[in-house]
Amino acid sequence: MAQKWIERTEGIVRADYAYWVGKYMDKFYDGLEKQKIVGIKCPSCKKVYVPPRKVCGDCATTIPLEGQWVELGTRGTLLNFTATKYTVSERRKKKNEKMTIIGLIQIDGSNTAMIYPILDAQEQGMKIGMKVEVVWNKKVQGTPNDIKGFKVAGGA
């Protein structure tokens, strides 16, 4: 494949990918496509990773690709949060008009956390330790965007 450096271009660029997310993240995205959150459990220290990873960050055990998957629910705990007018994904964009709450969420049954917006919430109503649940995007297609965000969980 011939390569050429492009320093600046306008319009649509089509690029063939040389890498893909990998076998572990692929399973995670397969789960999202079915509106399920799956994690991987370290066979040695039993820590559960969401999103999954190949090597345990705690005990450095290589987690096998098969036999270690656990299906978790769509609820989690808010470990921390911040309210901001800046967007997370577009760092060059100046400001949003709207205040967004970004949460650090630990899915129940996992030992790690993910960052997602908390939807339809007010900063004043937020509390560390409160229960949240996944809000799926209307169209799920096996990407991180399948999770639109989280909302404060109702009921028990």
The binding site for Zn ion (CB under 5 A) comprises 42, 44-45, 56, 58-59, 61
Taking the complex as a whole, how short is the minimal distance between the CB of residue 77 and Zn ion, in angstroms? 21
Taking the complex as a whole, how short is the minimal distance between the CB of residue 110 and Zn ion, in angstroms? 13
Question: What is the spatial distance between Cα 77 and Cα 14, in angstroms, rounded to a whole number?
Answer: 40
Handedness of CA 69, 75, 79, 82 (dihedral sign): positive
Cβ closest to Zn ion, residue 56 vs residue 101: 56
Taking the complex as a whole, how short is the minimal distance between the CB of residue 113 and Zn ion, in angstroms? 17
Taking the complex as a whole, how short is the minimal distance between the CB of residue 24 and Zn ion, in angstroms? 14
Cβ closest to Zn ion, residue 58 vs residue 71: 58
CA distance readout (Å), 153 to 75, 77, 116: 8, 10, 15
Q: 45 Cβ partners below 8 Å, 6+ apart?
A: 56, 58, 59, 61
One-letter identity of residue 149? G
Cβ closest to Zn ion, residue 28 vs residue 81: 28
Cβ closest to Zn ion, residue 57 vs residue 144: 57
The residue assigned the tokens 């998957």 is 69
Question: What is the spatial distance between Cα 130 and Cα 89, in angstroms, rounded to a whole number?
Answer: 25
